[in-house]
Structure 1
Amino acid sequence: MSALPGLSLQELLMAASTPRATVLEPTPSSASADVSPRRRSTRFRPRVLLVESDKDARASLAMGLVGAGFEVLAAPAIEDILGELGEGRPLPHLVIAPAEASGDGMEGFTLCARLRDDARTEHLPVYLLSRHEAPHHRERADAVRADDYLLHPVPPQVLVSLARLKAGRSAFAPDYEAHTLRMPLAQVLHALLCGSRAGRVELRDNEGWLSFRQGHVVDASFDGERGLIAIRRLLFFGSGAYAVSFGEALAEGKLLLNLKIYASLLMPAAERFSALCSLGIPLSARLTVDFKRLADMLKSLPDDVGQVIRLFDGQRTVHTALLECSLPEVTTLEVVTLLYAQGVLVPANLIAEREPVPQSIPPFFEPVLRAEEEEEPFSEAFETSGPSRAA
């Protein structure tokens, strides 16, 4: 339980001991921590208050946040950061605190409740981290209106994604905007599945969404597909601005995918797909086969590569070929990348330039008529035979 349970937030601030917090700042060249498409030209340095009793875990999480462009004030106990929440001090953009008390210190549940009861801090986003899951912890997190409740060990990238999503924004906003260029869908979904909340991720620029609930994906839709195929293709092909909304009503459906399977299989596949795309073959490119090069490389190619090669006729895009091929999208893109590097697949316009269309197209075969047959070339074929003609 919390120490000093009857004190208000301001009284706790006055009773706080000398801070033992360490301030860590990103280098001037660090990327902005902002992920909103509305503030692309400004450098946003949100400040995070991070409380973690374990020294190594605190250093790992703090450096992850600093590397992502956040300014971090890290401390071993909640009491060490209370002074940063006092009157006259600029408020941080996010608070990350342990759910359980450290020794006789304060619980994160109590801190969050006090922040919510103070008009000055009631909208400050708060994440609670726990080393063990008690049956009542999730209910308590909901009762104090924490933004989420996560179990250790928390990967630094997960905390970075959650911080990017909410730092500097109200804890109770209807939705939170981000962009796939600054925070890929695979990363934000991993972070959301690590928490206990329910909600929905929805693309703004094209049709696609998925619903999540307490560490599971429960439904998804993308490009006319539903279920697991939609989840995979949404992570591979979904792009642009998107919104994350929270609420049980937004997460209806059956359990499709849990965190363990997602983290071990689907997320690595999405990261591999993204890495292949970064090699430089646009998904909108139209490729065709260089048959001269194919003949040279044919003996060294596996037999099942043929089903990939056949798809590239100069008309299909790489994106279309990935959808039509019977192989998994990542495997198909790996094959396409290899064939492109070997010169078997080339841009369609390159073949057109190398082998231009003839200026004069030879005519089809036509019979040459003799002069005497020009008027009625087939007259003999239609002549009738009979006695009268013979007579």
Structure 2
Amino acid sequence: MAKQQLLLVDADPRSLRVLEVSLKKAGYSVTTAKDGADALAKLELSTPDLILSDTRLPNLDGYGLVRKLKERLDWASIPIVFLTSQKSIEDKIRGLELGVEDYLTKPIFVRELIARVNLLLARRAREGFVTRQMTTTGRTRFSGSLADMGIVDLIQTFEVSRKSGIVHLFYESGDAHIHFRDGKVVDAALGGLVGEEAVYRALLLNEGTFEVEFCKVDNPDLIEVTTQGLLMEGMRRVDEWGKLLEALPPLTTVFEVHSGELLERLNEIPDELNGILRLFDGKRTLMQVVDASPFEDLSTLSTISKLYFEGLLVPVEAQPAEHGDDMILSEAFVPVESRRQPEMGHAQPPIRRVAGAAV
């Protein structure tokens, strides 16, 4: 099997040499460049599997290099990792917005760098499999596990290949469908959710299977935001969702309203929260309340967290969920851990968009 090729770009000769030797010892073929212009010249000779670049370079810096890469169709899909001494969040966001895959801050530990490179190249191999399936004559469908290829990877692969079709997602308690036209996400549905809200909920899935269907998509453009914008907002929501979940009981927990606390604090509770409070009937699970809420997922969960920590919601002891699927649903929609406890507020949550209605 041929060695995977890396292009290493760094203006510091010592750093360049150390990383080159380390990566070659790890089994990679490494080409080096001293600045962005030199890197472009090396790219004309051979296309690498991955680029590792410092951001501070003479002639053409790392950000300029990325812009040049994105202008060329044959280079646009090459994964790029920034190696930099710049530690500000603004610099990191700038790189990610340009399409950089990862961002490592100097001093760089070789073991961490190699681990990141291995992960990125493994993901590229999976995406390459999808792309090959997309271009195989007569092949209109293929399927796989979300454990092997996540939803973000599927969306980005459609975007790069500029194909039209549908990604069908299946998990124990339901299914979802994301529609693409020329690589752009134009519509989606999950349960009663449609459009962007359906994509944001789908991004929470951490288990299940997918089926990709290549076909003409006539759905109207219900999703107007760019695919990259959709993913950036979606991953922000995934992070916030996980933070809230860590501070709450499991999604399978059944809650009821603490009548005593409610009576004492009735005048303090904003009217818009009454709609959510009424959903806690001692029978619905936490996830069922999120589904039934007229507000979007993140706002609903944030409001529930506030009510819970204010003592207005209490778990119903030893009461099983009405629907067995909720245990699966709870496990499927827990992406990351949380780290903070919110405070009671009075802002009205955004209204969610659901299939067939505007609530």
Task: Give the TM interval when normalised to the shorter protein.
Answer: 0.5 to 0.7
Contact 1:100/1:130, CA 8 A, preserved across alignment: no
1:267 is paired with a residue whose SS is helix
**5+ unaligned residues in a row in structure 2: which ranges?**
20-25, 50-65, 81-97, 104-115, 134-140, 320-359
User: In 2 relative to 1, CA 334–225 (structure 1 residues): closer, same or farther, beyond 3 Å?
Assistant: closer
Structure 1, residues 37-58: CA drift from partner, whole Å, max 9, x if none?
Answer: xxxxxxxxxxx935234339xx
Contact 1:212/1:219, CA 8 A, preserved across alignment: yes
Code of the residue aligned with 1:316 in structure 2: it is R
User: In 2 relative to 1, CA 227–304 (structure 1 residues): closer, same or farther, beyond 3 Å?
Assistant: closer
TM-score normalised over the length of structure 2: 0.52
Q: CA RMSD, aligned part only?
A: 4.6
Alignment of 1:204-283 (within 5 A): 204-205=170-171, 206-213=174-181, 216-236=184-204, 238=205, 240-243=207-210, 245=212, 247=214, 249=215, 253-255=219-221, 256=223, 257-283=225-251
Match for residue 203 of structure 1?
Answer: 169
Which of 68, 74, 85 lines up with 1:131 in the alignment?
Answer: 68
User: In 2 relative to 1, CA 226–75 (structure 1 residues): closer, same or farther, beyond 3 Å?
Assistant: same
**5+ unaligned residues in a row in structure 1: which ranges?**
1-9, 14-47, 64-70, 79-97, 110-128, 352-391
- Please give the alpha-carbon distance, in whole angstroms, between the structure 2 residues aligned to 1:72 and 1:250: 43
- Please give the alpha-carbon distance, in whole angstroms, between the structure 2 residues aligned to 1:72 and 1:130: 29
Code of the residue aligned with 1:340 in structure 2: it is Y
User: In 2 relative to 1, CA 212–302 (structure 1 residues): closer, same or farther, beyond 3 Å?
Assistant: same
Which of 137, 141, 156 lines up with 2:102 in the alignment?
Answer: 156
Which of 283, 299, 312 lines up with 1:315 in the alignment?
Answer: 283
TM-score normalised over the length of structure 1: 0.49
- Please give the alpha-carbon distance, in whole angstroms, between the structure 1 residues aligned to 2:188 and 2:44: 45
Structure 1, residues 124-168: CA drift from partner, whole Å, max 9, x if none?
Answer: xxxxx873344xx43x58xxxx9x567854232899578337359
For these two proteins, the number of residue pairs brought into alignment is 245
How high is the sequence identity, in percent, across the aligned residues?
20
Structure 1, residues 309-345: CA drift from partner, whole Å, max 9, x if none?
Answer: 1210112222222222222221110111122223211
Please tell me whether Structure 1 or Structure 2 has the larger radius of gyration of its CA atoms.
Answer: 1
Alignment of 1:1-391 (within 5 A): 49=4, 51-55=6-10, 73=28, 75-77=30-32, 101-102=41-42, 105-108=45-48, 131-134=68-71, 137-138=72-73, 148=77, 153-156=99-102, 163-164=122-123, 166-167=125-126, 170=129, 172=132, 175=142, 177-179=144-146, 185=151, 187-188=152-153, 191-192=156-157, 195-198=160-163, 200-205=166-171, 206-213=174-181, 216-236=184-204, 238=205, 240-243=207-210, 245=212, 247=214, 249=215, 253-255=219-221, 256=223, 257-298=225-266, 300-349=268-317
Following TM superposition, by how much is the alpha carbon of 1:289 offset from its aligned partner in structure 2, in angstroms? 0.6
Contact 1:201/1:244, CA 8 A, preserved across alignment: yes
Contact 1:210/1:231, CA 8 A, preserved across alignment: yes
